[in-house]
Structure 1
Amino acid sequence: MFYEGAARSLTLCKVFVIKQILITAALFKSFSNPQDRDVLRNLGVDAIMRKALRIQSCFWNLPCVGTIKVNTDGVTKGNLGLAAVGSVGRNSNGAFDFVYSRNLGVTTSYVAECVAILEGIEVAVNKGHYSVWVESYSKAVVVDFNTDKIPWQLKEKW
């Protein structure tokens, strides 16, 4: 097994993945999906079940051929707290092209959402995609990206 040009052991990979799951799971208050809870419990992560507030239908549209769709999210524990970002890239067939996540340290939820978009695009471009459709749940961040009003410390990366 190789990662970033260096040999890696399967045991170290498993330890790294479990550590990332534990860190990320700590950011969630609870889980409403029983299957997610069971998977996490098998990995040794405490997952508190909560009742779903409401069930709502939603639709996920496929991107056009030659376009990758990147769904992003940023999360913080408190608004100035430990943060993590993630993104998923799918092609026109709906197949996963990449899944990306990382911990940010301490920041605001707004900055976490911005970084999630920037890094999701960066991963897509690094994988050779130049037609990228980005979706985010943060309306404020989407409006700011569309009007070029993102935080000054992120403008250079943008």
Structure 2
Amino acid sequence: MVEKCRQETMVRIVKWEKPCQPLLKLNTDGSALSNPGQIGGGGILRDHLGRMIYAFAIPLGTGTNNQAELQAASHGIFWCIQHGYKKIHLEVDSKLVIKWLSKQLTLPWNLQQYIRELQHLVQ
């Protein structure tokens, strides 16, 4: 049975695209060492020329990978607001987070506080 198991690998070119002026682009990501486990997040804010404005990497305690994704996005948006940046294009790599933010999927109860915080910041 073990011999029949395979892991498929797919290679895909990923290219960062500049935001349209006057927008800034905030790319964030979160990760977990186990799920649940120790989590952390990071991100980078760039202008329409690709110049870095802000970058961060933060420990987020214990939680799930989805929690880390949401908290990393919240941290980045919060920093932008604190520093007067309001025209932000948020880009995340989690399809679940995108579907939760766009209300295409029902959010699990244990992550509702994190999505509410992010939605509040965006407003």
Which bin holds the TM-score, normalised by the shorter protein?
0.7 to 0.9
The match for 1:147 among 79, 103, 108 is 103
Structure 1: runs of 5 or more not aligned: 1-52
TM norm structure 1? 0.61
CA distance in structure 2 between the partners assigned to 1:153 and 1:132 by the alignment:
22
Moved over 3 A (4+): none
Say if 1:68 and 1:124, in contact at 8 Å, map to a contact too: no
CA distance 1:156–1:69, change in 2 (3 Å)? closer
Matched, 1:79 2:35: yes
Paired residue type of 1:60: W
Deviation, structure 1 residue 56: 2.8
Q: How many pairs were matched up?
A: 106
Which of 85, 102, 108 is 2:58 aligned to? Answer: 102
Aligned to 1:59: 15
Moved more, 123-132 or 87-96: 123-132
Query: How is 1:1-150 mapped onto 2 (pairs within 5 angstroms)?
Result: 55-147=11-103
Alignment match, 1:3: none
Greater Rg by CA:
1
Gaps of 5+ in 2: 1-8
Q: CA RMSD in A?
A: 1.8
Q: 1:33-53 CA deviation, whole Å, 9 max, x = no partner? A: xxxxxxxxxxxxxxxxxxxx5
Using the size of structure 2 for normalisation, the TM-score is 0.78
Note the C-alpha offset of 1:125.
1.6
Identity of aligned residues (%): 26
